[in-house]
Amino acid sequence: MLTSLRVAAGAVLAAVVLLTAGAARSPAGEGPGKGRPDAGAPVPVKAAVAEKKAMPVEIGTFGTVEANATVTIKPQVTGVIREVLFRDGQAVTKGGKDSQTGETTKPTPLFKIDDRPFQAELDRANAQLENAQNEFNRQKELTESGGTTKSAMQQADANLKAAQAAVKSAALNVEYCTINSPIDGRAGACLVDAGNLVKSGDAALVVINQIRPVQVSFSVPQQNLAEIRKRMAEGVLKANASIPGQPAPETETGELTFVDNAVDRTTGTIRLTAVFDNQGERLWPGQFVTVRIVLRSEPDAVVVPSAAVQNGQKGQYVFVIKDDGTAENRPVTVDRELGTESVISRGLAAGERVVTDGQLRILPGAKVSVVGKDASPEMPKAGGAGKGETGEPAKPAKSAKPGARPGGVPGA
């Protein structure tokens, strides 16, 4: 048994010795990670030049669109609805003189309530007014001739005024039977149908929202309050609102009009409101929008595409392409992002080239070759790699041995 164990141990030792000797005799190009056909070749990347230009200083947040005015239409008299005179969602107007054209327009009718009972009441009130007027005239003549008392004259005068008031009230009830839009805006869904009996001050008939202009409410951190108030004191403070996912031309520009009188202690934010003309009606009540307040402009900001900025364990950094075509890992401080651009406050100078695509294949100090439309014509071609003298892409190096795949991995 002991002899068998010794024989086995000797066989294992011999195998280890043979394996070590074979590895020592193997060429350097056949080991893993060695002799790669592309070892030392520049890494193809895309690049951009850091620019110095004027960039706005903004506060970005989210807000909610609110109607500038909301009116709930309710009946002022009790009666049966004879007609519904508008369509759901229709644009309505209060009428009046147009400030631009000078034309006078009529208000949009919404509902027609049966006015026959109120018209009959108006006729009765007019008859009573006529009788009261005749009695007043008679008492006045008698007063002048001394044929009546002062109290009779006073009673006739009071009866006349009461009759006049009754006529005005009856006429007003007849007018209330036609319900017009009190504001310019959009009507919501009609909440009643023709034939329904409605009571004075009872359930709503329709809700109208004014959306030209429209307002957007949002909140910002309390740290920005001092500068916002300063800019508002200097003049009009602009605000931009856009619908998430919509292109830039769809952005609406308005004015900041309201700063709340207290900071919300639970969130440390303060509520603001901006008003937008919204002539194209792109902003709709209840809509969720992105809001930016332009506080001022920074004239000489260093700007790079946001794709160039990477996040590492020690913070944010970029790969700077040096004059010799190698990449340098450079820590930077990003002040803010505006769209697809980042403003760099520290670590980068205008005119330096940074890598915008291909960072995952780069090690600090590695050679790079700028390709694609972002390549700069002044960019040195490290070692002549990348594009050749004719501007055509350089052909890949031949494999180390027949059938080998790129990267030194033998073919199947």
Mean residue pLDDT across the chain: 82
Which among 255, 370, 265 is positioned nearest to 323, based on CA atoms?
Answer: 370
The residues with which 180 forms a beta bridge, in sequence order, are 109
Write the pLDDT tens digit of every residue in 312-323: 988 999 999 999
CA end-to-end distance (rounded Å), the chain: 45
Here the tokens at position 258 are: 């309201």
Q: List, in order of start, the domains of the chain with CATH numbers.
A: 43-54+300-384 (2.40.420.20), 57-65+214-298 (2.40.30.170), 75-113+182-203 (2.40.50.100), 115-176 (1.10.287.470)
With bands split at pLDDT 50, 70 and 90, how would you rate the model's confidence at 145?
Answer: confident
Interior angle at CA 275, CA 272 and CA 277, nearest 5: 165
Residue listed under structure tokens 């709503």: 204
Q: Which H or E element spans position 161?
A: helix 150-176
Given a cut of 50, is residue 36 above it in pLDDT? Answer: no
Q: Which tens digits make up the pLDDT trace of 305-358?
A: 999 999 998 899 999 999 999 999 999 999 888 878 999 999 999 999 999 999
Lowest mean pLDDT among 18-32, 177-191, 272-286, 364-378: 18-32
User: Average pLDDT of 145-151?
Assistant: 80
Residues 227-244: tens digit of each pLDDT: 999 999 988 899 999 998
Q: How much of the chain, in percent, has pLDDT values that exceed 70? A: 79
Q: Distances in Å between the alpha carbon of 207 and those of 92, 191, 200?
A: 11, 9, 17
Question: Which of the four pLDDT bands, split at 50, 70 and 90, describes residue 37?
Answer: very low
Q: What integer is the mean pLDDT of 287-296?
A: 91
Q: pLDDT tens, 68-104?
A: 999 999 999 999 999 999 999 999 999 887 766 778 8
327 vs 360: CA distance, rounded Å? 12
Residue 145 structure tokens: 């001739």
The answer to whether 366 touches 43, Cβ cutoff 8 Å, is yes
Residue type, 348: L
Q: What is the pLDDT of residue 373?
A: 60
